Structure 1
Amino acid sequence: MNEEQKDKGLKKAIKEENGFRLPSNFAYHTMRKVEEAIRLREKKSERRTLFATIAASIFLIGCCIAGLVIYFGNTIREAFTRPDILETEKIQIPSFYLLILIAMPLFLIFDRWMRKRYFNKHHP
C-alpha cells in the first residue's frame, strides 16, 4: 500500500508541474533584458574609456607644459622681465626637438590603440 501511495503522490506532483506554463512572449522579454544589460555594460565601458582618454590628455598636456617650463623657463622669465634681445645660444632647441621626437611616437601608439578599441567595439 505504501508503494501505491508513493506512486499516486509522484503522479500528482508530475501533473501539478505540467500545469506551470511560461508566457508566450517569455523569450522576447528575456532577450530584451539581456540586450538591455549588454547596452548598460557598453555604456559603462564607454564612460570609463572617455574618462581614461580625458585623464591621459590632461597628463600629456601637463607633461608638455612641464617640459616647456623646464627647458624654456629661464628664457620665458627673462623675456617678461627684461626687454633685452635674447641670445640664441641660451635657447636649447635640440633638447626641445628631442622631446617632440619622444612624444610623437607615444601619441601615434595611443591613437592607434584608441582607434583599434573603437572599431572593435562598434564594427564587430
Structure 2
Amino acid sequence: MRTTDRGLQKAIKRQPHYELPSNFSYRMMQKIQEESILREKRQEKRIFILFLIFTILSGGGCIGFFIWKYGTTFISYWHTCKEILPDSHTLLFYLPTFCALCLLYFFDRWLRKKIDLEKK
C-alpha cells in the first residue's frame, strides 16, 4: 500500500461516524404528512375566502342591477305600501317576531334530523 492510501484511511477513521436514528424514516414521513395537511388547510382557507369574495360581489352586482333596473318602480310600490299598512311601530314588532319563528322552525327541523341520524 502506498503512504497516501494509508493517510486517507487514517483520515477517514478519525472522522466522527454518524448514524441515523432507527425511527428516522417514520419521523420524517410524519413531518411530511403534517406539512401536507397544513398546506391543504391553507389552500382550503384561500378557496373559502375567494368564494366569499365572489359571493359578496355577485350579490352586490345583482342588487345593484335590480336597483338600476327597477329602482323607481320599487320606490313607488314602497310608498303605496306605506299608505296601506298600519303604523310602522306595529310592523316593527311583528316582522322580527315572524322571522324569529321561521328561523326557530327550521332550527327545530335540523335538530330533529340530526337526532334521528344519531339514533340509527
**TM-score, normalization by structure 1:** 0.57
Q: Which residue of 1 aligns with 2:61?
A: 63
Task: Work out the CA distance in 2 between the residues paired with 1:46 and 1:12.
Answer: 56
What residue ranges of structure 1 are gaps of 5+ in the alignment?
A: 84-124
Give the equivalent residue in structure 2 for 1:42. Answer: 40
1:73 corresponds to: 71
Q: Alignment partner for residue 29 of structure 2, among 31, 42, 49?
A: 31
Structure 1 runs (4+) greater than 6 angstroms displaced = none
Shift in CA distance, 24/16, structure 1 to aligned 2, threshold 3 Å: farther
Distance 1:71 1:23 in 2: 72
Q: Which has the higher contact order (CA 8 A, sep 6+)?
A: 1
Change (3 A) 1:17 1:35: farther
**1:78-105, Cα deviation, whole Å (9 max, x unpaired):** 122346xxxxxxxxxxxxxxxxxxxxxx
Output the aligned Cα RMSD: 1.9
Once the two structures are aligned, what percentage of the paired residues are identical?
35
Deviation at 1:20, TM superposition (A): 1.4
Question: 2: distance between equivalents of 1:28 and 1:47?
Answer: 29
Pair 68,56 (structure 1): closer, same or farther in 2 beyond 3 Å: same
Report what 2:11 is aligned to. 13
- Give aligned pairs, total: 80
Long gaps (5+) in structure 2 = 82-120
